[in-house]
Amino acid sequence: MKKDDVIAYRDRWRAVADIELHELRSTSIETKWCQLNSIIELAIRWGIFKADPSEEGVYKQWAKLKEKVDKRRL
């Protein structure tokens, strides 16, 4: 692969990333909320997530999610 090919490849993927970022930013809160609820519902059905409606349970679950997101950013 030549240098120009690598640069063109990289530039195409940067363009794709820019489009995806634009789509994420333009998605409505309602749509994001529906997507989140769908993910949670699937996780509950598959036994990955156990819903605890108590206030403490909600805080614990958000802490777990935050920890996982922080690990992915590394």
Model confidence pLDDT, tens digit, residues 23-57: 989 999 999 999 989 998 898 888 887 777 788 88
Q: How far is CA 68 from the centre of its chain?
A: 11
Residue 74 has what pLDDT?
A: 60
The answer to whether 63 and 72 have CB atoms below 8 angstroms apart is: no
Distance, first Cα to last Cα, the chain: 30
Report yes or no on whether pTM surpasses 0.75. no
Q: 1 versus 31: which is more confidently predicted?
A: 31
Residue 32 CA to residue 73 CA, distance in Å, equals 20
CA max distance for the chain: 58
Predicted confidence (pLDDT) at residue 73 exceeds the cutoff of 80? no
Q: How far is CA 38 from the centre of its chain?
A: 13
